[in-house]
Amino acid sequence: MRLFLVGVSLLLIAGCKQTPKNFDYGKIENGVYRNNYFDFEIPVPANWAVQNREQVQELQKTGEELIAAGNKELGAKVKAAEITTAILLTVFKNKTDATTDKFNSSFIILVENLGGMPIKKGSEYLAHTKEIMQQSNMSYQFAPDYSTEKIGNKEFDRMDVSLDGQPEKVRQSYYSMIGKDFALSIIISYVNDQQKAELKDIISKIKFS
């Protein structure tokens, strides 16, 4: 089984920002993830593997090590930015300890506290994301332009990214929107159009109040 680790997450804008007292990591009940602070819910497909807090932390650690291996200064910034970023939901198609030769497609929902930074659009946040990713030692390739796409009942800006892997090229779509002084992002990871369509069908069911 091959996991693609997103670097990990966006973890972009370092600084000392306090998490609101009523901040909500959300929870899954009856197959639906709900988050009261950000006012959304999304069904989680049956038999997909939801990652617990310890598993998410391990993925973050591995991603940070990949970044730090090529750029220690960038690795330190990513580590410092942990205090401003919260991974709300991480879900893989298969269990992460399963044995398979297929790429384990996934989707992640995360937020970052912008702390008054002058970022008003998802595309502006994604531009910062791109800058950080380009500083890493990973050979990301980026689509030339950002686009806007409706996910559920909200407009998100999108950035498409790919990374050469073995034996297949890994592809990602980053969706971001700004609200409540946070950037809320959804990242889907896949290697073919079938996996992409399946993930897009899942995230299309997100619903904001």
> Is residue 6 situated within a structural domain?
no
Band (pLDDT 50/70/90 cuts) for residue 7 is: very low
pLDDT at 115: 79
> Is residue 175 situated within a structural domain?
yes
Whole-prediction pTM = 0.84
Residue range(s) defining the domain that contains residue 136? 31-208
Span 29-59, pLDDT tens digits: 999 999 999 999 999 999 999 998 888 877 7
Query: Measured between alpha carbons, how far apart are the two ends of the chain, in Å?
Result: 37
- 3-state secondary structure (DSSP) of residue 204: coil
Q: How many domains does one find in the chain? A: 1
pLDDT at 164: 84
φ, ψ dihedrals at 43, nearest 5°: -65, 140
> Is residue 21 situated within a structural domain?
no
> Is residue 11 situated within a structural domain?
no
- 3-state secondary structure (DSSP) of residue 178: strand
> Is residue 100 situated within a structural domain?
yes
How far is residue 113's CA from residue 107's CA, in Å, rounded to a whole number? 20
CATH number for position 104: 3.40.1000.10
> Is residue 148 situated within a structural domain?
yes
Burial of 101 (0-12, 13-18, 19+ CB in 10 A): exposed
Cβ count within 10 A of residue 24: 14
Span 141-196, pLDDT tens digits: 999 999 999 999 999 999 999 988 767 888 999 999 999 989 999 999 999 999 99
pLDDT at 4: 42
> Is residue 24 situated within a structural domain?
no
pLDDT at 70: 59
pLDDT at 16: 41
Span 71-130, pLDDT tens digits: 555 555 554 444 578 889 999 999 877 666 788 999 999 998 887 788 999 999 999 888
User: For residues 35 and 23, is the Cβ–Cβ distance under 8 A?
Assistant: no
Do the strands 207-208 and 27-29 form a parallel or antiparallel pair, or are they unpaired?
unpaired
pLDDT at 110: 92
User: For residues 157 and 122, is the Cβ–Cβ distance under 8 A?
Assistant: yes
> Is residue 60 situated within a structural domain?
yes
